[in-house]
Structure 1
Amino acid sequence: MKKKWWQKAVVYQVYPRSFQDSDGDGIGDLGGVLQRLPYIKKLGVDVIWLNPIYKSPDKDNGYDISDYRAIQPKFGNMKVFDQLLAETHRLGMKIVMDLVVNHTSDQHEWFKQSRSSKDNPYRDFYIWRDGKNNLVPNNWGSYFGGSTWQFDEATKQYYLHLFAKGQPDLNWENPAVREQVWELMRFWLNKGVDGFRMDVINFLSKPAGLPDAPNPEHAEFANVEPMVADGPKLNDYLREMNKKVLSHYDVMSVGEMPSAKPKDALEYTGLDAHELNMVFQFDHVTLALNKDPRLGKWNDQPVKLVDLKQALSKWQTALDGKGWNSLYWNNHDRARAVSRFGNDSPQYRVLSAKMLATTLHMMQGTPYIYQGEELGMTNAHFTALSEYQDIESIEAYHQLVEREKLVDHKTMMRYLATESRDNARTPMQWDTSTNAGFTSGKPWLQLNKNYCEINAAAELKDQQSVFYYYQKLIKLRHQSDLIVYGNYQELIPEDEEVFAYRREYQGQTLVVISNFTEKIIKRHLEMPTNKKLLISNYADDQADQLRPFEAKVYLY
């Protein structure tokens, strides 16, 4: 395997809106990120991934871009961004930008031109269709509820939007669209950014003729994902992107790919594929789907450990020596890891946060830490719909409770408290001062009420904190080729309480054992007597006995 810098790297994801506000308007900004760079550097990571900071009407918190070459005014301006990039590089870290090119905002100049007339040169930048018998062109359902089609009065046609109405999909069949994307990528890479995380990049290629989706539940609109994920020309588009842009820079590329399976990932990110470096796959974060497919992700059932192990191990094994994994528990679209996979009670939060970190960071791949994860931040546990801001959550409530009456109010509030994206988006908890040190103004989203107990200031004073445990894990990865490149073998796969696996590389072996329960249990794994305890979330080692949420790593 030819070794690349991003294989040994650890990434810290910053959601700028919720990270640090520097001007008192209640919204995090680039000045705030600049202010907190010493904190990120202290953690020890190599790369900062910034969620979208481009000009946007904010229908979907910046994932609806109206100008790819301008900074969202609420976040600052290009001068501040240039300062941030220079200071990040001075500190020995890199910056990866979010690339959102499946769709734009309906306020983007391309779309304004496109919708103005059928013969406008930009008409074919987007996907327009006539209706069928006074109905939408097909039965595809939007991720945010309702149809994927929006009727536009000016030209009496419908445009496609897989997400919000304000996010029309680009037509990647049009070479002029692709050339514009290559140009905007070069704009940022020539500035010195170090790569891209690519939003829903496997949705670019739509099926020929845009046929109806299978609809076994006879829902008003069918699940669109099977129709648009991994479309027929996706490989062509990604190879062209690599040839025209990525291959000319020493940068990192990760594609967010819902529904992707290991065989797909090997096509897009195989070490000889000439497309992307790695993908974000969703298998382990979508295990608790509701039994009723009409409810999709909305659920509050705990994840079964055997299923979780199978999902993660499948990718570890399939990509070993052929591709590269991205390792993550949570991000801006996923509930807090310690609430979803661990135990966020005061008694077990710290232990389970460290256990989850150990389990993930000892695997093969590039780890991603979502802001606050290194503090063990928890779900917000909001109790009123008015506390939510997320468009997906609010639309789901209206659709499932009010329009379709599939669940009652109380049940849906439980589901939102478990799965809403706002759980990840509550402001960063810096200290015990007003608004947790995030802003001197009114925060754009309500803070998690536990910020006086969970915050960076307290953890930086406590050598046993979750923060310093993450710091140790990052140092171990930087020092060990075994952790970075070693192969993977799952141990005791049918065990419903313990996640254990082995890594091997150049004569060295690592064994990771994690207790996912609050029980004291015993497990015996065959290991030599000269084994060394590399890291653990308990102060001592009680051999075969595993205490609540105990994690330990042995080296021999």
Structure 2
Amino acid sequence: MKQLRSLLTTALLSSLALTACSSLSNTLLPVGTQTAGRVQAQAASSAQTNLSAYSIGAAKNLIAARKQSPAPALAARNLSANFATPEWVKDAVFYQIFPERFANGNTRNDPPGTEPWGSKPKLYNFMGGDLEGVIQKLPYLKELGINAIYFNPIFEAPNSNHKYNTADYMKLDPAFGDMNTFKTLIAKAHSMGIKVVLDAVFNHSGDAHWAFQDVIKNGPKSKYWNWYLVHGFPVVQEPKPNYESWWGFASLPKWNEYNPEVREYLFKAAEYWTQQGIDGWRLDVPNEVRDMNFWREFRTRVKRMNPELYIVGEIWGDGSPWLQGDQFDAVMNYQFRETVFDFLINDKTSVDQLDWGLEGLRKRHPDSVTYSMFNVLGSHDTARILSMAKGDINKVKLAALFQMSYVGAPVIYYGDEIGLAGEMDPDCRRTMPWEPSQWNQDLRTYYKRLIQIRNQYPVLRRGSFRSLMRHNDNRTFAYLREDAKSKIMVVINNNLKAQDIPLDLTRVNVPDGNLRDLISGRTLQIRNGQLLAPQVPAKTGLLLEWSPAR
């Protein structure tokens, strides 16, 4: 009787706590506890398709394609017309590192069964990449012009190479190193002017997490039974989990974020790593956290520690509900990627569609967000740009030119700059080759020059953007980046043949002057409002610095 009374008391208190927490968000809490240890959640995840037969990356692409991503719990509130985002992000050139595949700097921490560097990537194999390897390659990144790194998860997560199945948020995965390694990485990166952004997986844990293991072992007697959304006991994982998980993946049980204890645990983890000196958080599938107040509290707590901490959410669609000034600073700009790829890589859309599509994205958000957007051309969840371009280096170069001259922070997925290929996950997670003979040196030189130009000219990072010319038949496009001190004009020939590109600038208020292509050194002139760029090669562009006519 005493044990039953204890269980019922726990259930009642938990139900009251969950209801109180839910009321903060003005949303209905999923159906509460019916018996001790059984929580039934009518969350978006309960109606999700089971995608566990796919890789995580493939599943995310399917979710995005089907528009099945859970809707936010609250409508956008338009809290701030132009809230502050971290200043440093506007000047950032990011480099995304998948730690297990970037560089192996310490073979002593290789997981059992580690395969030779360069082996074919599989869903569950290991190559030995670690943080010591990143430390050793920081000079490479600095020389390339990188000033910010985004890392895929680095916390303890056994039996995976991606580490999205967290077992302990307070520990570094031993295959990547220890805390001394991490502290050395932070110190050396910062000494080189390189910021560090970590990946936070707070929608779900891994099934090896100590709290979930306790639930499996002790069932309704576990003190953590209501940390997850378990439908009954005993816990069943196969063939279908009897608890909420990420899209049917039994290895990724979903947190009950309405539970105050869960919230405090996750916020403490975020605060711990923020205290270690990181510069930002990338949030994994944050739209699947049902209570948007979770992210409001997250922002308050980490920004209190560091107001310049960058918060970027993995949102594949419209990020507006999370970009009102009370949750994220930016989102992974997959909509930018899709719009650019449709025009430059897949040749599916017109110049008008490109320009109007990007204009719509810019108008959707305040400038502080637009100039802080995380502009990806590829990631660990997508096929690599070279493979998407079917090996056409000129398409890759043109997309890179556009990315580096557009508003928002450009992001390079490791290896794209040297022509690393790869289809969908796991193939897009190949090891970084460190033998220069395996690099496309011409592509790497081009990337390096583009980054150098972006770092040199503030107008490309902070200046205004406006279209100057669109020609659908010729597939040519020109736009201007401008600030009080300088002007840079970008002219793109997305045609299969070289062609003259004339521009009538009399109606767009670009004064006569001299132009110098910052890539080739080629010079042109604007006279009487007219510009002719003769025989611009196919699938290339010009990056033209304006100076007054003499």
Specify if TM > 0.5: yes
The aligned counterpart of 1:86 is: 187
Structure 1 residue matching 2:187: 3-state secondary structure: helix
Whether the 8 Å contact between 1:360 and 1:367 is mirrored in structure 2 is yes
The aligned counterpart of 1:220 is: none
Which residue identity lines up with residue 515 of structure 2 in the other structure?
Answer: K
Which residue identity lines up with residue 344 of structure 1 in the other structure?
Answer: G
Specify whether residues 245 and 553 from structure 1 end up closer, same or farther in structure 2 by C-alpha distance, changes over 3 A only: same
Deviates more, 1:490-499 or 1:120-129: 490-499
- Deviation of 1:125 after TM superposition, in Å, equals 1.4
Specify whether residues 34 and 357 from structure 1 end up closer, same or farther in structure 2 by C-alpha distance, changes over 3 A only: same
Q: Distance in 2 between matches of 1:357 and 1:280?
A: 17
Which residue identity lines up with residue 238 of structure 1 in the other structure?
Answer: W
Whether the 8 Å contact between 2:333 and 2:376 is mirrored in structure 1 is no
The aligned counterpart of 2:439 is: 454
Specify whether residues 287 and 59 from structure 1 end up closer, same or farther in structure 2 by C-alpha distance, changes over 3 A only: farther
Q: 2:484 aligns with which of 487, 500, 506?
A: 506
Specify whether residues 119 and 304 from structure 1 end up closer, same or farther in structure 2 by C-alpha distance, changes over 3 A only: farther
The aligned counterpart of 1:147 is: none
Specify whether residues 121 and 474 from structure 1 end up closer, same or farther in structure 2 by C-alpha distance, changes over 3 A only: same
Specify whether residues 287 and 353 from structure 1 end up closer, same or farther in structure 2 by C-alpha distance, changes over 3 A only: closer
The aligned counterpart of 2:444 is: 467
The aligned counterpart of 2:328 is: 276
Q: 2:265 aligns with which of 163, 171, 180?
A: 180
The aligned counterpart of 2:295 is: 238
Equivalences, count: 424
The aligned counterpart of 1:543 is: 533
The aligned counterpart of 1:444 is: none
Q: Distance in 2 between matches of 1:493 and 1:46?
A: 33
Specify whether residues 490 and 151 from structure 1 end up closer, same or farther in structure 2 by C-alpha distance, changes over 3 A only: farther
Q: Distance in 2 between matches of 1:494 and 1:422?
A: 39
Whether the 8 Å contact between 2:336 and 2:358 is mirrored in structure 1 is yes
Q: Distance in 2 between matches of 1:539 and 1:504?
A: 20
Q: 2:545 aligns with which of 526, 531, 555?
A: 555
Q: 1:46 aligns with which of 133, 143, 147?
A: 147
Identity %: 26
Q: 1:487 aligns with which of 464, 482, 486?
A: 464
The aligned counterpart of 1:304 is: 349
Q: Distance in 1 between matches of 2:348 and 2:259?
A: 42
- Deviations, residues 453-500 of structure 1 (Å, cap 9, x unaligned): 525xxx3xxxxx333333333333333332122222345557263343
Name structure 1 gaps, 5 residues minimum: 132-149, 206-232, 291-299, 380-416, 433-451, 460-464
Specify whether residues 493 and 238 from structure 1 end up closer, same or farther in structure 2 by C-alpha distance, changes over 3 A only: farther
Whether the 8 Å contact between 1:101 and 1:199 is mirrored in structure 2 is yes
Q: Which residues in structure 2 correspond to 1:13-412 (within 5 Å)?
A: 13-24=96-107, 25=114, 26-59=127-160, 61-115=162-216, 116-129=218-231, 151-152=236-237, 157-162=242-247, 164-205=249-290, 233-234=291-292, 236-249=293-306, 250-261=308-319, 263-264=320-321, 268-270=322-324, 273-285=325-337, 303-304=348-349, 306=351, 308-319=354-365, 321-324=367-370, 325-340=373-388, 342=389, 344-345=391-392, 349=393, 351-379=394-422
Structure 2 residue matching 1:96: 3-state secondary structure: strand
Q: Distance in 2 between matches of 1:378 and 1:522?
A: 33
Specify whether residues 426 and 106 from structure 1 end up closer, same or farther in structure 2 by C-alpha distance, changes over 3 A only: same
Specify whether residues 182 and 304 from structure 1 end up closer, same or farther in structure 2 by C-alpha distance, changes over 3 A only: same
Specify whether residues 114 and 312 from structure 1 end up closer, same or farther in structure 2 by C-alpha distance, changes over 3 A only: farther
Q: Distance in 1 between matches of 2:174 and 2:472?
A: 52
Q: Distance in 2 between matches of 1:539 and 1:338?
A: 27
Specify whether residues 468 and 28 from structure 1 end up closer, same or farther in structure 2 by C-alpha distance, changes over 3 A only: same
The aligned counterpart of 1:530 is: 513
Q: Distance in 2 between matches of 1:320 and 1:246?
A: 20
Deviates more, 1:522-531 or 1:3-12: 522-531
Q: TM-score, normalised by structure 2?
A: 0.70
Which residue identity lines up with residue 304 of structure 1 in the other structure?
Answer: T
Q: Distance in 2 between matches of 1:303 and 1:339?
A: 17
Which residue identity lines up with residue 554 of structure 1 in the other structure?
Answer: L
- Deviations, residues 33-81 of structure 1 (Å, cap 9, x unaligned): 1111110111122111111111112447211111112222222222222
Whether the 8 Å contact between 1:287 and 1:303 is mirrored in structure 2 is no
Name structure 2 gaps, 5 residues minimum: 1-81, 108-113, 115-126, 506-510, 525-531
Structure 2 residue matching 1:36: 3-state secondary structure: helix
- Deviations, residues 282-313 of structure 1 (Å, cap 9, x unaligned): 224457999xxxxxxxxx97653555554434
Whether the 8 Å contact between 2:469 and 2:503 is mirrored in structure 1 is no
Specify whether residues 370 and 156 from structure 1 end up closer, same or farther in structure 2 by C-alpha distance, changes over 3 A only: closer
Whether the 8 Å contact between 2:515 and 2:523 is mirrored in structure 1 is no
Q: Distance in 1 between matches of 2:466 and 2:445?
A: 28
Which residue identity lines up with residue 107 of structure 1 in the other structure?
Answer: A
Q: Distance in 2 between matches of 1:156 and 1:421?
A: 24
Specify whether residues 466 and 313 from structure 1 end up closer, same or farther in structure 2 by C-alpha distance, changes over 3 A only: farther
Specify whether residues 38 and 244 from structure 1 end up closer, same or farther in structure 2 by C-alpha distance, changes over 3 A only: same
The aligned counterpart of 1:438 is: none
Q: Distance in 2 between matches of 1:303 and 1:54?
A: 40
Whether the 8 Å contact between 2:453 and 2:518 is mirrored in structure 1 is no
Deviates more, 1:308-317 or 1:48-57: 308-317
Which residue identity lines up with residue 523 of structure 1 in the other structure?
Answer: I
- Deviation of 1:320 after TM superposition, in Å, equals 5.1
The aligned counterpart of 1:516 is: 494
Q: TM-score, normalised by structure 1?
A: 0.69
The aligned counterpart of 2:45 is: none
Specify whether residues 537 and 29 from structure 1 end up closer, same or farther in structure 2 by C-alpha distance, changes over 3 A only: farther
Whether the 8 Å contact between 1:288 and 1:302 is mirrored in structure 2 is no
Q: Distance in 2 between matches of 1:127 and 1:308?
A: 43
- Deviations, residues 128-172 of structure 1 (Å, cap 9, x unaligned): 2369xxxxxxxxxxxxxxxxxx9458x994333326220111111
Structure 1 residue matching 2:318: 3-state secondary structure: coil
Specify whether residues 62 and 550 from structure 1 end up closer, same or farther in structure 2 by C-alpha distance, changes over 3 A only: same
- Whether 1:6 and 2:89 are equivalent positions in the alignment is yes
Q: Which has the larger radius of gyration?
A: 2
Structure 1 residue matching 2:516: 3-state secondary structure: strand
Whether the 8 Å contact between 2:339 and 2:358 is mirrored in structure 1 is no
Q: Distance in 1 between matches of 2:488 and 2:361?
A: 19
Which residue identity lines up with residue 384 of structure 2 in the other structure?
Answer: R
- Deviations, residues 397-436 of structure 1 (Å, cap 9, x unaligned): xxxxxxxxxxxxxxxxxxxx4xx1234211112216xxxx
Which residue identity lines up with residue 425 of structure 1 in the other structure?
Answer: R
Specify whether residues 269 and 287 from structure 1 end up closer, same or farther in structure 2 by C-alpha distance, changes over 3 A only: closer
Specify whether residues 430 and 311 from structure 1 end up closer, same or farther in structure 2 by C-alpha distance, changes over 3 A only: farther
